[in-house]
A and B are shown apart, each in its own frame.
Chain A
Amino acid sequence: MKILVCISHVPDTTSKINFTDGDTKFDASGVQFVINPNDEFGLTRAMWFKEKQGASVDVVNVGGPETEPTLRKALAIGADAAIRVNGPATDGFSVAKQLAKVINDGNYDLIIAGRESIDYNGGMVPGMVAALTNSNFVTNCIGLEIEGNTATVSREVDGGKEVVTAELPLVLGGQKGLVQESDLRIPNMRGIMMARKKPLTVHEPVETSSETNSVSFEKPAAKGAVKLIDADNIDELLDLLHNEAKVI
């Protein structure tokens, strides 16, 4: 089985978000970048298929050279090879087009992406990739087993979960649950050394266009100060929630 894990390179969750160039661009200065958390869960699950079922695991990112350390980290965690499609990730559609090309050329059976990336929160790349490659698609995945050509996937739905089956080739949108937090792997020295020798291939992008583009960014309006209520005065809280906030 050939697995491809799509890795989006995102600011660490603790990053302060700022913009430059007249609020038209994300300001990456001083920001630490990481593997998108949803993709890290998927990558860790892929390692299980590698170790238990002999799968091969490639990782891919669409982005500039600055994303290579993130791909190297994925190699250090255990992926076999990395691909970087050398192009700016301008919108979900153009990224999906690039990924579809990699998938078609590489004949992958299983494509694991994340439910959403925590930077632009598009939540659209995996579904678009599935539609472009004519693969089955399941998102919000919290569990995955594969037997032969059939995947059994648990997925989160409003108010619970459901179990579905689908034939490969299959595209997944993963999230926590695919593995537990405690299963995540921190690359060790040996992994890091080995990652240096693993292939990281740069592909030139195919011609595509963006369907959407960012015009500008702004910060949400600052919040007013909190109203503190004495612990002995719950009546006041109820009064405020009822008459001022009008939420009860």
Chain B
Amino acid sequence: MSVLVYTESDQGKFKKVALEAASYAKAIANELGTTTTAVTINADDTSELGKYGVDKVLKVSDPKLESFSAKSYADVLKQAAEKEGTKVIVVSSSINSKYLSPILAIGLDAGLVSNVVELPLSSSPFIVKRTAFTNKALEQCQINTDVKIVALSTNSFGLIENSAAAITEDFAPSILDSGVSVKSVDKATDKVTIADAEIVVSAGRGLKGPENWGMIEELAEVLGAATACSKPVSDLGWRPHSEHVGQTGKPVACSLYIAVGISGAIQHLAGVSASKVKVVVNTDPEAPFFKAADYGIVGDAFEVVPALIEKLKDFKLQNA
């Protein structure tokens, strides 16, 4: 009966979204009067999960699961759910969790709802609130199946500490052949990703050309932030496509989003508006982004950004 949560790890370490999913699963388990079971795949130290309310860990360690496969991972979760007699499964909105959850849903005849932003509004009927129309609306959605899968939006619930035992049990499911083989991976390991970043520094066409991105990278470095850009900037080849954020690019749901020289077109705003605090730097006081921002500076990026970098360096020294 316990609520099952998939706690994703990377190089053996839990991702922040996994701990958020665990916190959320614990809160649902409390409402349903049951316990929380986490499934880990090739994670090192599972005791950390207790801090976020996990009562039991099903620890899967198998070299065949070394590279992520949606099909085989979904099947592992299916076996775990069946073993536990689970009715509610929680996953995060990471790229991989989004990849596997529809396969898991079919495997378990479970109704799946993505982009969920709050605890269920009611458990019978089971109704959750999710974002739709790329953050332009919220939808209440009812799941009618016996088993339910809830995919939690990143940074919508937060990490909640909740001490529990996290008793670890080794779990050795059968492993399906994935059907998809990974040939090469090209990942910058030294940079924070847009998906994981607390802070994202983003710049648009207002920067005039790719040669001016040095200050954006420096600002990101001082803040420990990821860098991003508007769509035309990636279409023009000034920055890689992987930095394109917005409705047709990557979604951003960070704590602090700093937009420099971005006008704030509706398609851009839709994709970044789930971020908690937005700061805009733009020469044009009429730029639409000011209406969607929390803090704004009307000014020239080429003056404001270098000044901001200097002040932040001092600030970091004082608050170190």
Decide if the interface of chain B is mainly helix, strand, loop or mixed. Answer: mixed
In the complex, residue of chain B having the shortest beta-carbon distance to the beta carbon of A128? B102
> B129 to chain A: closest CB distance in Å?
9
Interface range on chain B (Cβ under 8 Å from partner): 35 or more
B315 nearest CB neighbor, chain A only: A238
Q: Is A55 an interface residue (CB 8 A)?
A: no
Interface-located stretch among B38-46, B49-57, B190-198, B205-213: B190-198
The answer to whether B279 touches A237, judged by C-beta atoms less than 8 angstroms apart, is: yes
Whole-angstrom distance between the alpha carbons of A121 and B107 in the complex?
21
> Does B255 touch A at the CB level, under 8 Å?
yes
26 contacts between A and B (CB under 8 A): A13-B266, A121-B131, A124-B101, A125-B102, A127-B100, A131-B107, A136-B71, A158-B196, A159-B196, A160-B185, A175-B248, A181-B235, A211-B144, A212-B111, A217-B139, A226-B295, A228-B295, A234-B297, A234-B304, A234-B307, A237-B295, A241-B279, A242-B319, A245-B294, A247-B198, A247-B255
Q: In terms of DSSP, what is the predominant structure of the interface of chain A?
A: mixed
In the bound complex, how far is the Cα of B299 from the Cα of A7, in angstroms? 43
Across the two chains, which residue of chain B brings its CB closest to A137?
A: B70
Interface 9-mer from A68-76, A78-86, A138-146? A138-146
**Chain A 62-102 interface 0/1 with B at a Cβ cutoff of 8 Å (1 = within):** 00000000000000000000000000000111001000000
Tally of A-B residue pairs with Cβ under 8 A? 257
Cα distance, A225 to B45, chains bound together (Å): 45
Known: A140-B99, A164-B181. A92 touches B294 (CB 8 A): no
- C-alpha spacing A125/B294, complex, angstroms: 36
What is the CA–CA distance of A181 and B234 in the complex, to the nearest angstrom?
A: 10
A interface residues, tally (CB under 8 Å) = 79
With known contacts A17-B137, A176-B249, A229–B180 Cβ distance under 8 A: no
Q: With contacts A127-B99, A136-B179, A234-B311 known, is A121 near B132, CB below 8 A?
A: yes
B111 partner residues in chain A, CB cutoff 8 A: 91, 93, 211-212
Whether B280 is near chain A, meaning CB under 8 Å from some CB there, is yes
Q: Given A14-B266, A37-B248, do A131 and B102 touch, yes or no (CB 8 Å)?
A: yes
Contact B102 A142 (CB under 8 A): no
